[in-house]
Amino acid sequence: MGRKTRKVAIVGTGLVGSSCAYAMINQAVCEELMLINRSPENALAQALDLSHCMDFTHSRTKIYAGHYEQCGDMDVIILAVGGNPKNPGSRLDVLDSSLEMVKSIIPPIMESGFNGIFVVATNPVDIVTYAVWRLSGLPRQHVIGTGTSIDSSRLKTIISDIFPVEPRSVQGFVMGEHGESQFVAWSHVTIGGKPIQQVIEQNQSRFGHLDLDDIADRTRLAGWEIYKRKGSTHYGIGNALAFITRSVLNDDHRIMAVSAILEGEYGQHSVCVGVPAIISANGVQEVVELNLNAEEQEKFAHSCSLMRSFLESSHLVAPLDTPEIHPAQLGHAGNGSAATAEFGA
């Protein structure tokens, strides 16, 4: 009996989209991969280049350039479009141009009959993920942002260099905005199952000098350290996109930090931020609600409040004392023009 062909489309074939495609064919994430770009020639060139990898991979992925009207039977659509920030330091700089892009992309995708899962990398990813949900009309579980998945990976890498252990032996999450208001939920960071504070307390001579706030700052600024040296980050976020997509297609039920739309979880409503969640064939199967301490709860509430203020100013969500705005009523979000470059993470 034949197995269903797993089909994925990537919208945006710049550094992030092409890095994601490269990761996916090397990891055999899907059997069919369609690339879409505002420049069809670029999408075609990327598809041809990537197809020449097949002799050196473990399995064959059919890869080709396509169009929005071909998205109807896709299982997952990855959004990897985006613009570079005006000034390194805030991904919110590209909010207007990113919203303009998704407002032109989502309607034709939905008109194709698409009813799968969106995975979003476009920055500012928390706000854009919420916009994709509102524009698509899909259930909130079916729209996933990469969120703090890459930040959590950066945290684990930094910790693994300090202690030292293999990064996957570190468990923990960066939560909130994928940006300046993010925070590390230190009360839930463990090394080999042992709380990190306990490891430090019991090994004062080796680790007593560590400043957890400094580690959190290094984590938050890691993307900018890369950006200011080469102008983009794309390998890490490209792999994160492939990882999330594989978890959806394989129904893995893997827990990772992603941008999820909250409607009651952590006491938050009408907002999208990075939280640990179970990722399955249904998308965000369940948001994992950690028992945050008082300081972490305050930081989480602050990050959610900040993201909600941008959603309100962009007319993506109504203020709490007014009715919700229907997707059809979304107005012009700003004066930014669509950008052609990509800054993924």
Phi first, then psi, for residue 340 (nearest 5°) are -105, -20
Place of tokens 């040296």: 229
User: Could you give the CA distance from residue 108 to residue 116 in angstroms, rounded to a whole number?
Assistant: 14
Q: What is the chain's length? A: 345
| Number of helices (H), then strands (E), in the chain | 10, 14
Residue 167, preceding bond cis, omega within 30 degrees?
Answer: no
Could you count the other beta carbons within 10 Å of the beta carbon of residue 60?
13
Residues 266, 286 contacting (CB under 8 angstroms) = no
Q: Is 332 a catalytic residue?
A: no
- Give the Cα separation of 95 and 85 in Å (integer): 9
3-state secondary structure of 251: coil
Residue 132 contacts residue 79 (beta carbons within 8 Å):
yes
| Prior bond of 88 cis (ω within 30°) | no
The terminus-to-terminus CA distance of the chain in angstroms comes to 41
Residue 271 CA to residue 263 CA, distance in Å, equals 8
Concatenating the DSSP letter of every residue in 155-188 gives HHHHHHHHTT--GGGEE--EEB-SSTT-EE-GGG
- Compute the distance between CA of residue 84 and CA of residue 93 in angstroms, rounded to an integer: 8
Out of 52, 58, 142, 178, which one is annotated catalytic?
Answer: 178
Instruction: Give the residue from 36, 3, 4 showing the smallest Cα distance to 20.
Output: 36
143 forms beta bridges with 118
Catalytic residues: 178
